[in-house]
Structure 1
Amino acid sequence: MATALHRETHETLSDPSDIIGLVGFERSAAGLFVGRDDEADLLARRLGVDAGDDPDSTGFVLLSGDAGIGKTRILAEVAGRARAAGWAVLTGHCLGEAGQALPYLPFIEVLGRLEGSSPELLDRVLTAHPGLSRLVPSRRHEPNPDDPADDVVDRGDLVEAVHAALDDLAADTPLLLVVEDVHWADQSSRDLLTLLFTRGFSRRVSIVASYRSDDLHRRHPLRTTLAHWARLGDVERVDLAPLPDHAVRELVRGLQSGLHAQPLAEAQVREVVERAEGNAFFTEELVAATALGGTGLAEDLSRLLLVRFDQLDTSGQHVVRVASAAGRHVSHRLLAAVAGLGDAELDSGLRDAVERHVLVPTDSGGYAFRHALLGETVYDDLLPGERVRAHERYAAALADDRTLGTWAELARHAGAAGLREQAREASVQAGDSALRMAGPEEAFRHFKNALALMPESDPEVDSVTLRAAAAATAVGRAVKALELLEERLRRRAPGADPVGRAELLAAVSTTARITESTLDTLAATKEGLGLLDAEDPDDLRTAQARARLLGARVQALVDRGRDEEAARAAAEAVSVARAAGLPDVADEVEVVEARVIERVGDPESSRAALERIIGNGAPTGDPAQVRAFHHLGSLHHRAGRLDDAVEVYQRGAEAGARAGRPWAPYAFDARLLAGIAAYEAGRWDDADRILDATSQDPPQPAEALLTAARLCLAAGRGEGGFVAALDSTRPWWDEEGLVAVLAVGAAIDLYGHQDDLPGALLVHDEGVESLTRIWHRHFQAQTRLSALVLGQLATHVGRASSAERAQLLARGVDAAEAAEAVWARVSEMPGQHGPEAQAWIARARAEALRLRWLGGEAVDAAELSEAWRVTVAAFEDYGHRYELARSRARLGAALQAAGDPAASDVLQAALETARELGAEPLRAEIRQAGGRASAGQRPADRLGEALTPREQEILALVALGRSNRQIGTQLFISAKTASVHVSNIIAKLGVTGRGEAVAVARDRGLLD
């Protein structure tokens, strides 16, 4: 019996969606099971499937949830667990509309499937309980036409037979009965379930019945039955809430793998998560539609969502149509003003919509669509004329009574109704309101819409452009802000207001310096100040334009290294700004002035000035305060106080986020630099957390910067699959140089770790070309890139042929010369040759020697070791733990080759850091260099006792085709000594020559 039941239930649950019903839309989301582990555990425990300490436990459970929320999928999961635990599972479904007239439908299905899978088992059940034959159409006898009583079913006998049959089926194995969609159950089926719940069983029988909670309007027949079941002590309820956002994201990823389309972009994933509202079915449909290039709802989803709307009466449908034009939410007052219904008819329509779970009341005294997708569907179903008229009525009501809604609502409705002038004015007001509410993203959108509606002759164009640019900058879109400002300057009439042009020049100068623009900001400020010479200096607008231009001029002077001139100009700028009522501009200038103080050699005074600005009582998130945090963090960072830098940077980033400007200049920069400083300090998990913004939809180039910074972590850990991430940063190399610096530096190592030296060299060359184009020939970061590429050349040169070695050595000379040229330039610039810069030039010099050494050139052992000691000391001073460990590993290799007994301790220190960080490529390098392996043994122990460590080193070089002279040069021994070692190796292995020695060594596992 158990075997037959297991076979029957497997077939029953193999595709439950084929019998869901005419208007059903519960699905299993392509078989994925995400975000429901806790609920599945709870359901299994209450049903006795997960018996715990009570092996004989059973249970009766009512499972509720909205349509599409995942009831069928969780039931399939629990059923699977039950079968795995030795239970038999029987499943029946209730059907909508078409099945209403057929009583006992779910039990007919159970027996029908049992007949198909195990007819002999059904025969035994029917023999024991002949009353069940009425529920098996193929076994039902034809009634005697001469005996009217022959076709009469005794209901009591029938339900008793079902109860007894379930009890008997559980005689050999526990039984789980699943009844789905009881919101569609007929009265007979509901009564039968009531009997089963009330009477219970003598054997282990558990029952779970599911229903849609959003289908139960006030007059639904199941409501009374549920109230009765709730009073039964043995019946428990489990309600499925919407999936959390992280689970929907996981579901989206799983669904994408089954689609033959490009993976969804992060912005698309975010939109799906937002629109699906935790509903698994909605998620599935939205992913399918989006992956196939659709922008609206899938036709099946739209049709099924409208089923609930079609059940409303006339007034209910009218109210819902009007509400759909308002969006997700609408206040009662506004809806009443627009609907055009009397109070009684409006209340009737709203009551119907609420009872049918189309609308739900909100705490604010209005209404919202229970599912936003339903509102979208109803709106999309409106005729074009209906939409325009609805928006016109909303715009008129909002304009007539400003207490009914926001400027943003008025702007939207006026725009949708084609009322351009009203939409323009409302958009400007909405943008100003959003800025006051710390919503720069919304402000930028409103100002941009206003500009699209403004004629060139509008006197407010300059002002709105300035506000739009400020909002764009605040959300991290400085490039777009600069485009708006430069476009406005080009299109202004020659004789237009000079003060307006001066204001635009001040803004464009300030904005250009936070992009890779080639604009001459000093010339722009000079032009702007010249325009104001003929204006009334006592006019407030003129005075404020002058203050902003003077502030921008100070920054332009600093950018050009004219620090003394900048310091003199700063005093005037601060004085003019405070007199003009612009304390924020004055504070910004003082922050820049503090940076100058640091550069001229007084970091402590700079630090004190920045801390004073941070604590001067300015509002939290004030741009000057955030910039001060950024500069103070940079001061710590440049001095190698990495943990202090992380803390201060994070305070600046958090201040910007609290002000609603997480992507604004300096706020985002502080976050990025906090992640980089945490990476350098060896706090890789912290860095990962700080830099991970995948769920925040960052703007560009912020997203590219974060991706590039995380590539550094991937390089350290030796992760693969990086090419897609690297390629996503490429479009921004020419727009934001730091993207290229971070991405290229990481990619050199990532390609190198995969033994793809050509890839490492190519990405280096591409990056240098890009950075030279947007910066200059000898940019400072080139030292770092040169050092990294020299390191990869050295690592790979030992495996190259003689001809290839010559090419790699020549390439190394070029890289070393580039690093030295940069250092010659940087060392003459104040404030530009701190601990980090000194560490990287030391590294480049040491790597150049290492390349020559491993490439077979004569290199003095003492010189090589000393170069690496200097490098280790420099990175130790700076605090970069990973590069310190990598430098120690290479120092250890040099010491080991020179026979220095200190090599072991140096390598061990490097290995401990590599283990702690999870730096797998570095661990492999240390093992190869002869350090202790992860089990605490040297590779010598692993390779065998026949050869000494020196002989093992020499054997590895023999395998690479090195001559005795080349071996001697690389290991700092004579060619004669190398020859003696080779002879000893040949003798110990019992072979006759070098080639045979290599073959035997590989066969015995003595060579990797």
Structure 2
Amino acid sequence: MTRGAIGAEVSERHDMMSSVPALRTTDLIGRDAELEQLSSQLGIRASGGGTTSGVEQTVRAMLVAGDAGVGKTRVLMALRDVAIEAGWHVVAGHCLDLADSSLPYLPFSEILGRLMTDQPDVATRVLDAHPTLARLQPGRRIRTSETASGDQALDRGNIYDAFGDLLSAVAHDAPVLVMVEDAHWADESTRDMLSFLFSRPAPGVSLVVSYRSDDLHRRHPLRRQVAEWMRLRGVDRLQVEPLHDDDVRLLVRALHPSTMSEAEYTSIVDRAEGNPFFIEELVGAAWSGQVPGELADVLLVHLDRLDDTTRQVVRLVSVAGRQVSHELLATVSDLGAAELETALRNAVESHVLVASRGGTYAFRHALLGEAVYDDLLPGERIRLHADFVSALGEGRVVGTAAELAQHARRADDRPVAVRASIEAGEEALAVGGPSEAATHFLDALELIDTSRTPVGEVDASVLARRCAEALIASGRVYKAVKVLRARLATLPADGADVDRGQLLTALASALMLTDTPDSPREIAAQAVDLLHNAPPKLLVRALLVQAQSLAGWHQDEARAIALDALELAERHDLTSLAVELHTTVAGLDPAGGSSASAGWRAAAERARHAGLLEPELRALYLLGRLHHDEGDLDTAIAVYRETIERSEVGGLVWSPYPAEARLLLAVALTHQGRLDEAWDLLDVSGQNPPMVFEWLFFAHQMLILIGIRGEPKPQALERLRDYWGTDGLTAVTSASAELLRANAAGDAETAIEVYDQVVATVVPLWHDWFQARLRLATLVIAALATAAARQSVDERESARAEVERMLSDGGRVIDFYAPYDDSHGPEYRMWVARRSAEHLRWRWLAQVDPPSGDELVAAWRAAEEAAVTYGSVPEIAQARVRLAGVLRATGDPAGAREVADLARRAAHELRARPLLDELVAQGSAPAPEPASGEVALTPRESEILALVAEGRSNGEIGKQLFISTKTVSVHVSNILAKLDAASRTEAAAVARRRGLI
């Protein structure tokens, strides 16, 4: 859309504009419905059109999506005007495309700056209450020679609360409309802040966020978050669609009142495809007598009509970025003040640039700025970027380290680029942006490594370790390993032991977070030898890593080393290392069990008190694992959630411990039968997580979809095969899905093939008798047993060798873990019992040394009891399905019916088609409905039924219960089936009649 009034005068000599027209109209063409929806849903004015501040809101936040140039900003400007007219406060922040540079919380810095100008008393009061918020002040984000220290680092929880309090304070006198534009360029920290504001609304505050929907490709980090936001109550989305052809014609007439031929109209309508930006540009090109063949040509037509000085300034703005301050332009430009102002006025009036009240200039559209920049000659770009480097580097104008780094890289000023990139990385870490920090550090390392001459007094080894820390904190552990190995390779053979020892310590620590055939234990030992005479801090770090590398298999040695390191750390007041060592010692407590639980909880609290988030996350993760291994799934789930929540505060969501905690939380939810919750938790499409977690999470989703629910998705499993060698857990999880599918089909040949392949892949990463091998071997025996019913005598005898091999492999795992008492948790015992029961089932069905009926029933009763003890709903259901078949085969139809009904109920709730099919194959049928007409609804179904009776739609129910619309649809279908109702209305009537609601 267009933004102003048609005000250019007609030339006396020609019936056309003598200069570039200001192609703008005050009419909001084709967007009345969008504006009405926004203003009425946000409560700015009634649906009838009258503005009022007293209208009750239906939503508290709106997402405004649309393609680039479709008119989102124009609609928001109209909304701003409506809100101001209604007596609202309106503040806006903009996300900027800084390419590889990142500046966390940028739009919120802009909003804070505006509020400090417009409402200084309120802003000052909140800043006094929340001093941390001052770090986001625009004036506080300039380059300094100081490196952000740990005590200056932003705690995200404090920032979130402080910003929420600021908005609440502003809203005390009148409602507040907060607008954040171009969220597709938002950094991770900004997206997290938006999530906080969406999920914790402040009274009187409404939020509008716009983004380019065509930029949200599958892996775009905003895509997943938009889906999450849409599940929140009070959040809605407006998709700004292209204009209809009739509206395009109206807009063309508003922009070009003169008569146009039908051919010209048709050309614009066809080429613009309803995009107002394209329409504006095409109309402008038509006015100049040119209709360009490509959009880039259209964008650059305006520059061709500008005078030389104005073109020079516009090109300078394109180098600066999408937005630049007048001060920076004045500093970099060689024009006088009056000449610069004249050029800027010409650019603004020509609608190439727009000016803001804050003294900044920006291109009317980002695409225009990109086209201008791309049109520059290579040498011209370098020269102009160098001018910015000079201005920013010499301190003649304020700016951020990220800006300086960006300009220095493009000016090929490597020494400045390296220093500024390091500075920018440290600043990003200080405000909880490890991903952005890693990008800056990697840039600096690349510049150092590719430079033919020294780029300054930068210790590349120190920078590599710092980069690795940021990479690990952002979840990119394999990249961290690569960076550390590359730096080690550059060290001279006679280099300092201290440098090599520190790099080896970092490498061993990183390798422990990966699946690799390399030995972290050996690398850690080398590091300790090299740092034996090093300063205490370096030696303690090396000893800590060595103790961690020994944990699990060499507990006594690990504990002795950890205790020695702890004594050394406490003697030299190395607080952070002492906290980490307490966590390590807690896991090495020979008493184990409750003692380890108390130790890890204490370690987590100690780390939290010291402000050390990463050791806290590690302690919480290990605490959750302990409860999980002990079979206390409820407590494990609570601790995993705590781990994830704490990671969000510090921007460490994808660091290894909280990321794996998310997976294990999904595993625990799966065991509890909460499959939809587990699926949603792992749905990270669009978040752009580290690849290892993306595929690991996807593997568990396929375990749910294919393994438990029996959906045919062979291509998904084939895709996962490519990632087996990267992560052992991904291999085991996806192989489990394949084995369950083969089990359901009785495809023993495929089951054996999958088992051999996954073992061959995982053994080099882990060891020969990894614990999951017991489960995998048991699933193969189950597939062999299912296949036995259809096999000939010769085929059964041939299968006997494979059964014995699987039985032996499982037995080797049991023997391997026999000395380790802490490995004998309820899940382990469940699979031990299941292994015995499946083996007897094979012998029974294959009639190879068949067991007695009593022996077979007893084994499956034991398997059922072990599954119940652990609390795994899918495994309980599977054990009961098999037990029902055994009871039926051994002459106990009543017992079979009772057990089958329990299994069937669970299978329906899980939507586990393989279990239902197996019950049908057994000849099992549901028990008759009780004469009383009682219906067994799950708690979730009862909750949804009550909302259905209120007349809620599936979408409304999904938003209220924070589940997907598809999940609601499935539950409603199950409810209709259980109530034998043909419609939602009938279901509500039946439910009321039976007293179900």
Q: Which TM bucket (shorter chain)?
A: 0.5 to 0.7
- With over 3 angstroms needed to count, the CA separation of the structure-2 counterparts of 1:630 and 1:402, relative to structure 1, is farther
1:680-722 deviations in Å (ceiling 9; x for gaps): 1111122112111112111121111111111121135535353
List per-residue Cα deviations over 1:166-192 (Å, max 9, x = no partner): xxxxxxxxxxxxxxxxxxxxxxxxxxx
Counterpart for residue 940 of structure 1: none
Give the Å deviation of 1:652.
0.7
Cα distance in structure 2, aligned partners of 1:682 and 1:824 = 31
Q: Does 1:888 align with 2:886?
A: no
Distance in 1 separating the partners of 2:666 and 2:625: 13
Which of 327, 335, 339 matches 1:341? 335
CA gap 1:396/1:68 in 2 versus in 1, 3 angstroms: closer
Match of 2:213 among 236, 245, 248: 248
Q: Secondary structure at the match of 1:774?
A: coil
Aligned partner of 2:818 in structure 1 is 827
CA distance in structure 1 between the aligned counterparts of 2:423 and 2:40, rounded to whole angstroms: 52
SS at match of 1:661: coil
Deviation at 1:324, TM superposition (A): 1.8
Q: Which residue of 2 aligns with 1:615?
A: 605
SS in 2 for 1:330: strand
Q: For the Cα contact (< 8 Å) 1:692–1:706, is it kept in 2?
A: yes
CA 65–712 in structure 1, closer or farther in 2 if over 3 Å, else same: closer
Maintained 8 Å contact 2:692/2:727: yes
Whether the 8 Å contact between 1:440 and 1:471 is mirrored in structure 2 is yes
Deviations along 1:659-699, one digit per CA (max 9) or x if unpaired, are 11111121211111111111111111221121111121111
Aligned 1:294-305 pairs, distance under 5 A: 300-305=294-299
- The 1-side partners of 2:776 and 2:395 are apart by 63
CA contact (8 A) 1:711 1:747 kept: no
Consecutive unaligned residues of structure 1, counting only runs of 5 or more, are 1-22, 25-34, 48-63, 75-213, 215-240, 253-263, 288-297, 938-1008
Residue 774 (structure 1) aligns with:
765
Contact 2:331 2:396 in 1 (8 A): no
In structure 2, give the amino acid aligned to 1:566.
Answer: A
Shift of residue 622 of structure 1? 0.7
- Whether the aligned pair in 2 keeps the contact of 1:621 and 1:658 (CA below 8 Å) is no
Residue of structure 2 in register with 1:838 after alignment = 829
Residue in structure 1 matched with residue 633 of structure 2 by the alignment: 642
Q: Which amino acid is 1:614 matched to?
A: A
Q: Deviations over 1:170-223 (max 9, x none)?
A: xxxxxxxxxxxxxxxxxxxxxxxxxxxxxxxxxxxxxxxxxxxx9xxxxxxxxx
Aligned partners of 1:437, 1:912: CA distance in 2, in Å?
50
CA contact (8 A) 2:710 2:914 kept: no
- Residue among 448, 463, 466 paired with 2:442: 448
Q: CA deviation at 1:314?
A: 5.4
SS in 2 for 1:575: helix
Following the alignment from structure 1 to structure 2, what is the Cα–Cα distance between the partners of residues 790 and 265?
A: 39
Cα distance change on mapping 1:934 and 1:332 into 2, 3 Å: farther
**Conserved in 2, the CA contact under 8 Å of 1:574 and 1:590?**
yes
Q: 2:324 aligns with which of 330, 350, 353?
A: 330
AA aligned to 1:910 is A
Is 1:697 the counterpart of 2:688? The answer is yes
* 1:53-132 map, 5 Å: 69=70
Residues 823-858 of structure 1, C-alpha deviations (whole Å, 9 max, x = no match) = 111122231121111111211221122122222433
Structure 2 residue corresponding to 1:725, chosen from 703, 708, 716: 716
Change (3 A) 1:517 1:409: same
One-letter code aligned to 1:602: G
Q: Give me the whole-angstrom Cα distance separating, in 1, the residues matched to 2:580 and 2:402.
A: 32
Q: Is residue 922 of structure 1 aligned with residue 915 of structure 2?
A: yes
- Report if aligned partners of 2:348, 2:355 keep a CA contact under 8 Å in 1: yes
Aligned to 2:865: 873
Kept in 2: contact 1:243–1:280 (CA 8 A): no
Q: 1:645 to 1:242 in 2, by over 3 A?
A: closer
For 2:596, which of 602, 606, 611 is the aligned residue? 606
Range 827-836 or range 339-348, more displaced: 339-348
> Could you say what secondary structure the match of 1:902 adopts?
helix
Q: Which amino acid aligns with 1:866?
A: A
User: Kindly tell me: are residues 36 and 273 of structure 1, through their superposed partners in 2, closer, same or farther at Cα, counting changes over 3 Å?
Assistant: farther
Check conservation: 2:884, 2:897, Cα contact below 8 A: yes
Cα distance change on mapping 1:512 and 1:739 into 2, 3 Å: same
Q: Is the CA contact (8 Å cut-off) linking 2:222 and 2:687 kept in structure 1?
A: no
Give identity over the alignment, percent: 35
Q: Which residue of 2 aligns with 1:524?
A: 523
Alpha-carbon contact 1:440-1:474 (below 8 Å) kept = yes
Quick one: distance in 1 between partners of 2:720 and 2:326?
48
> 1:640 touches 1:879 (CA, 8 Å); kept in 2?
yes
Specify whether residues 329 and 799 from structure 1 end up closer, same or farther in structure 2 by C-alpha distance, changes over 3 A only. Answer: farther
Q: Which letter maps to 2:646? A: A
User: What is the number of residues matched between the two proteins?
Assistant: 690
Q: Per the alignment, in what secondary structure is the counterpart of residue 517 of structure 1?
A: coil
Distance change >3 Å, CA 552–CA 40, structure 1 → 2: closer
How far residue 635 of structure 1 moved from its aligned partner, in angstroms, is: 1.2
**Which residue, out of 432, 435, 439, partners 1:438?**
432
What is the SS of the residue equivalent to 2:821? coil
Q: Distance in 1 between matches of 2:39 and 2:401?
A: 46
Q: Paired residue for 2:413, among 397, 416, 419?
A: 419
- Contact 2:717–2:738 (8 Å) recurs in 1: yes
Q: CA, structure 1 residues 380+925, in 2 after alignment: closer, same or farther (shift >3 Å)?
A: same
Instruction: Please give the alpha-carbon distance, in whole angstroms, between the structure 2 residues aligned to 1:402 and 1:642.
Output: 60
TM, length-normalised to structure 1: 0.62
Q: Is the 8 A contact 1:621 1:655 kept in 2?
A: no
> Are the counterparts in 2 of residues 618 and 625 from structure 1 also a CA contact under 8 Å?
no
Q: Deviations over 1:950-980 (max 9, x none)?
A: xxxxxxxxxxxxxxxxxxxxxxxxxxxxxxx
Do the aligned partners of residues 896 and 579 (structure 1) sit closer, same or farther apart at CA in structure 2, a change above 3 Å counting? same
Q: CA deviation at 1:470?
A: 0.9
Q: Distance in 2 between matches of 1:285 and 1:243?
A: 29
1:146-167 CA-to-partner distances (Å, cap 9, x unmatched) read: xxxxxxxxxxxxxxxxxxxxxx
Once the two structures are superposed, what CA deviation does each residue of 1:568-596 show, in whole Å capped at 9, x if it has no partner?
Answer: 22222123234445423222222122222
Q: 1:392-446 CA distances to partner (integer Å, 9 max, x unpaired)?
A: 1111111011752111211111111111122122222222222222211122122
Q: Is the 2:837–2:859 Cα contact (8 Å) retained in structure 1?
A: yes
Match of 1:583 among 568, 575, 590: 575
Tell me if the contact between 1:752 and 1:760 (Cα under 8 Å) persists in the aligned partners. Answer: yes
Measured after TM superposition, the shift of residue 801 of structure 1 is: 4.3
Does the 8 Å CA contact 2:738/2:751 hold for their aligned counterparts?
yes
Deviations 1:31-74 (A, max 9, x none): xxxx99979999xx999xxxxxxxxxxxxxxxx99985289xx9
CA distance in 1, matches of 2:411, 2:367: 22
Q: Which of residues 648, 662, 668 in structure 2 aligns to 1:677?
A: 668
Q: 2:738: which partner in 1? A: 747
Change (3 A) 1:869 1:244: farther
Distance in 1 (alpha carbons) for counterparts of 2:881 and 2:39? 50
**Distance in 2 of aligned mates of 1:845 and 1:40:** 66
Structure 2 CA distance, aligned partners of 1:312 and 1:513?
61
CA distance in 1 between counterparts of 2:748 and 2:437 reads: 48
Pairing 1:370-409 to 2, within 5 Å after superposition? 370-401=364-395, 404-409=398-403
Counting only pairs closer than 5 Å after superposition, residues 751-770 of structure 1 correspond to structure 2 as 751-753=742-744, 757-770=748-761
Q: Does 1:494 align with 2:462?
A: no
For residue 468 of structure 1, what is the amino acid of its counterpart? C
Contact 1:395 1:414 (C-alpha < 8 Å) held by counterparts = yes
Give distance in 2, aligned partners of 1:450 and 1:558. 36
User: Map of 1:127-142 to 2, 5 A cutoff?
Assistant: none
Q: Is the CA contact 2:654–2:690 (under 8 Å) kept in the aligned structure 1?
A: yes
1:523 aligned partner, one-letter code? E
Instruction: Provide the C-alpha distance between the structure 2 equivalents of 1:835 and 1:750, rounded to a whole number of angstroms.
Output: 25
* Residues in 2 aligned to 1:571 and 1:67: alpha-carbon distance in whole angstroms: 60
Q: Pick from 787, 792, 812: which aligns with 2:783?
A: 792
Give the distance between the partners of 1:271 and 1:642, measured in 2 at CA: 27
Cα gap change, 1:839/1:786 in structure 2, threshold over 3 Å: closer, same or farther?
same
CA RMSD of aligned residues (A): 4.1
Q: Deviations over 1:248-289 (max 9, x none)?
A: 37x97xxxxxxxxxxx76359969999xx977679x9999xx
